[in-house]
Amino acid sequence: MKNSSNACEACSANCTACSTAGQCTDTASCSAKYYKHSTSNDCQPCAANCDACTDGTTCTDAADKYYLDSGAPTSCGTNCKACTTATCGTCDDGYFLDTTCKACPTNCKSCSNATTCTTCNTGYVANAGACEACATSCNTCATKDQCNTDGCATGFTYMATDKNCAATITAADCKTA
């Protein structure tokens, strides 16, 4: 905004467009998670777990893992990633939905039930619904005994002959006679 001397001045904190110092033009001019206060015309923070609001107590968009209940952000529940009501719609990684979010099998990133893994954590591969560890020094593998060509851990190089990863050596590692 420009002052009476026609020099530019910064708007107040969390305000991107203002008419006079400290007075934001509208709520759209406030930073994310802030609203324009009706009397002070500055940008005030929304309530906790609220991504957008019309005032300090009325939320219009809840943060991740929350839903709106009469304008107030309310937790979706333990291990729930997304919901629109008190009922969970999507669980966090490592959990599946069965009325509530329940744990997947060990080393499983996603599963369809308590015994069937569909995606494994890094360093594991799915085999008949279970997660098996990849070979040593392998981050990703097609089978537990064979690394993917791009699946070696840092400091290791893919060896096509046995489809595993071996420690990377550099010229500095080699001794000359």
Query: What SS3 state is found at 38?
Result: coil
Alpha helices in the chain (DSSP H): none
* pTM tops 0.75: no
Asked whether residue 51 carries a pLDDT value surpassing 80, the answer given is: yes
Give 135's Cβ-side CA count (13 Å radius).
18
Q: Are 128 and 152 in contact (CB under 8 A)?
A: no
Query: CA 22 to CA 40: how far, in whole Å?
Result: 8
The structural domains of the chain, with segments of one domain joined by +, span: 136-177
Name the band, by pLDDT with cuts 50, 70 and 90, for residue 42. Answer: confident
Largest distance between two CA atoms of the chain: 82
56-113 per-position pLDDT tens digit? 888 999 999 999 998 899 999 999 999 988 899 999 999 999 989 999 999 999 999 9
